Structure 1
Amino acid sequence: MADQRIWTVYLSGEIHTDWRDQITKGVEEAGLPVELVSPVTDHASSDDCGADILGAEDSSFWHDHKGAKVNAMRTRTLLESADIAVIRFGDKYKQWNAAFDAGFAAAQSIPYVTLHDPALNHALKEVDGAAMAVAEQPEQVVRLLRYVIRGEL
């Protein structure tokens, strides 16, 4: 009898390119039993959620702090229930949140894959060192998932 398990894959990190869409399309085309989840990827909503929901703040520090706490409820819950995490680092912005997610995944023994350009290898050597795999393209992530889930190359 075939395994009916649905794998949950958390997609963390950079929000300015279509890497999530590429992985979604690849997973669908491969027919993989995967549910893809992620943080809120609308930048303004993510930044302003705390103040919009709980009230405005005069200080940008407390505005950001409130938003970070509200976002952390989603991030921690989804990451803790993930079977695998994919942590994407782009080259345009520093994704401190992605590095935090990678550390959290490592501390929780959640296997993760980093996804980034080779130009970032040195900067991410510790993060990559704890990763189960380091990919350069979303297609490689889909192939990794196909192998891990089905044992197919």
Structure 2
Amino acid sequence: MTATDQNPQQSAQPTPRKTINVVGAAIVKDGKVLCAQRGEGRSLAGFWEFPGGKIEPHETARQALHREIEEELLCEVEVANEVCTSSYDYDFGTVVLTSFVCHLISGAPHLTEHHEIRWVTPAEMPTLDWAPADREAVRLISVMDFPAFPAATHESDD
């Protein structure tokens, strides 16, 4: 009998963590940023986040963001600058979040999936209880001067 036979846990390979690629939109309007609070019955209920969602296999991050904002908030945004990509290991898997500054170009955000949506100044952002994956983007965005951003980077969505 080998040592592995005596203790089968020693030979067990760790289960690879599920990686979930998502995008988030820091939608800017009149110097304020739209923040969304996750609803009850969802993972991370009660935490604040930037609206967005999962990137589908056939999509770029920018395409996913356009789709998710139309589905979640029933409005249209122009995706401008990428802020950062951060990751966080949750119990359900590793979330890799790419956050962008976006500008509202059509419609008004409607509450459909979240418990609450709120426009806040960048300085107010750190006072909210953010989902861990969003915290690096919050740290960076909370000190940004939004008029310095161009309307869009005009990068292709392909």
**TM-score exceeds 0.5:** no
The alignment's TM-score, normalised by the length of structure 2, stands at 0.25
**Larger gyration radius, structure 1 or structure 2:** 2
- Normalising by structure 1, report the TM-score: 0.26
Higher strand share: 2
Question: Is the helix fraction higher in 1 or 2?
Answer: 1
